[in-house]
Amino acid sequence: MTSAKNWVLFPAVILLCLSANCGIWAWAVPGTIPLWVLCGLAANVLPVLTGSSGVSKRLCVLIHGYGCLKLFLISTAISIVIQMVLAAYYLFFHPLLWLMSVLVCVSVLALTFWNGIITVYCTSVQLGIKLRVTGIICGWIPIANLIALWKIMKTVSAEIRFETAKEALDQSRHAAQICKTKYPIVLVHGVFFRDSKLLNYWGRIPEALIKNGADIFYGNQPSAASVADCAQALTERIQEILRQTGSEKVNIIAHSKGGLDCRYAMAFCGAAPYVASLTTINTPHRGCKFADYLLNVIPQPAQQQVAATYNKTLQKLGERDADFLAAVNDLTSARCLELDKAMPMPEDVFCRSVGSKLNRASGGKFPLNFTYHLVHYFDGANDGLVGEESFQWGSDYTFLQTEWPSGISHGDMIDLNRYNLPGFDVREFYVHLVNDLRQRGL
């Protein structure tokens, strides 16, 4: 919430305190009840004015929710003092009247609290499930509920500041269209995921790129299949995009196994002439040694059962080409080293790679917090799934690290959890990545 518009809270506090502490007045003069009701309603509406102009609807609503919680805390503190003063007289001479006043006060303040907390729960991206559940559980425990509320408000306040600055930045450079590349951008997902309209694999990244002028398309290859099968599907998808746009080539940004799929498509499926650039993000170019280990220690019947369950589930979702074991086998170090030698960098295609480091297991969301130690044992420093030595490929390589204790995980690189990572703005990273393609004339 911007400090420039915090003045709105002052009249809101006055109105809410009048409404919350009107019990005795309302009893003495019943005709004033509509006035106190209007004061309470107005107080609950005013916080929406604390937002900056030009922000998105979601952010505007979130600012309103945060304002209501702040209004609740300030008004509660003032109301406690007022009710204590009233208690000095009415508690002895008219105790029932004072209890009625307290009941009205609690009810009015509760309305403001629920207005704020429900709004924040419904619109905040950064709260996460853990903090939301903590708030629900601790909400019924004195002292603990205040601590939980403080953590919730601190998180939401940081989100508001970050997103407000982010939207202002995008608006300031909107006319420049810094992500308007010569060729369209194709985002290629990794293994075990699909391109879905309901839950975008790339999180908030596509929206950020589009705001800055990018033309975005998706690979739509199978979620789990061999590199060869995915590569063929990608080649057909690229040709479809070219027909749709009239462009001669595409720029590809591929995450994880998607990078291997794209390299194979260029090397063996005839896609190279239609690709201007390929940027691989946390791709295991030399495989994952822990994948070799798992395939060796897990009994074949167990592997077949897991694969059959996965494939059957995907078939029900409309994907006929799912092949769990083929996908996993193509991620082993032995297979990837074989593919790496057979897939040299194509001429006339700008090739580069990006990798990141997870600093500790707890910095990754499940299952990365579980796999981190296993990958570290076999591959050393990693992003929770892929070892650092496996990332580098192409003529340009960027290795991302942060001083923040958690580091940058495999999922963080595609904004999987929609989390504003301290020290690393993933959306801005992709904006600069695509802007670099634009500057190269691609």
CATH of the domain at 418: 3.40.50.1820
- Banded model confidence at residue 338, pLDDT cuts 50, 70, 90: very high
Say what the pLDDT of residue 51 is.
59
pLDDT given at position 275: 97
What value does the mean pLDDT take over residues 182-190?
96
Q: For the chain, what is the mean pLDDT?
A: 89
- 137 and 233 share a domain? no
194 has a pLDDT exceeding 80: yes
Q: Which H or E run contains 186?
A: strand 185-188
Average pLDDT, integer, range 9-25: 88
1, pLDDT greater than 50: no
* Two structure tokens written together for 297: 């220690």
Distance (Å, whole) CA 124 – CA 120: 5
198, 160: one domain:
no
358 and 415: one domain?
Answer: yes
In 3D space, the residue among 288, 391, 280 whose CA is nearest the CA of residue 331 turns out to be: 288
If you write DSSP's letter for every residue of 260-275 in order, what string do you get?
Answer: HHHHHHHHHSS-GGGE
- For residue 353, the surrounding DSSP H or E stretch is strand 350-356
3-class DSSP assignment, residue 340: helix
> The domain containing residue 410 runs over which residues?
177-439
SS3 assignment, position 412: helix
Q: Choose one of 155, 170, 185: the last residue of a domain.
A: 170
Band of pLDDT at residue 228, cut at 50, 70 and 90: very high
Q: What is the mean pLDDT of residues 158-177?
A: 91
- Looking at per-residue pLDDT, the higher value among 202 and 314 belongs to 202
Range of lowest pLDDT (57-61, 137-141, 363-367): 363-367
The string over 360-386, giving b where at least 16 C-beta atoms fall within 10 Å of a residue's C-beta and e elsewhere, is: ebebbbeebbebbebbbeebebbbbbb
pLDDT, tens only, 120-158: 999 999 998 889 999 899 888 888 989 999 999 999 999
- Per-residue pLDDT for 420 more than 80? yes
What pLDDT score was predicted for residue 267? 95
**5 has pLDDT over 70:** no
Same domain for 53 and 187 = no
Tell which of 170, 192, 211 closes a domain: 170
Segment 160-185 mean pLDDT: 93
* pLDDT of 255 strictly over 50: yes
Single residue among 170, 198, 227 that ends a domain in this structure: 170
Percent of the chain with pLDDT over 70: 97
Instruction: Say yes or no: 154 and 263 in one domain.
Output: no
Per-residue model confidence (pLDDT) at position 3 = 43
What confidence category does residue 4 fall into, taking pLDDT thresholds of 50, 70 and 90? very low
Distance separating alpha carbons of residues 425 and 372, to the nearest angstrom: 22
Q: Please tell me the predicted confidence (pLDDT) of residue 50.
A: 64
Number of domains in the chain: 2
Q: Say how far apart CA 397 and CA 384 lie, in whole Å.
A: 19
292-298 mean pLDDT = 82
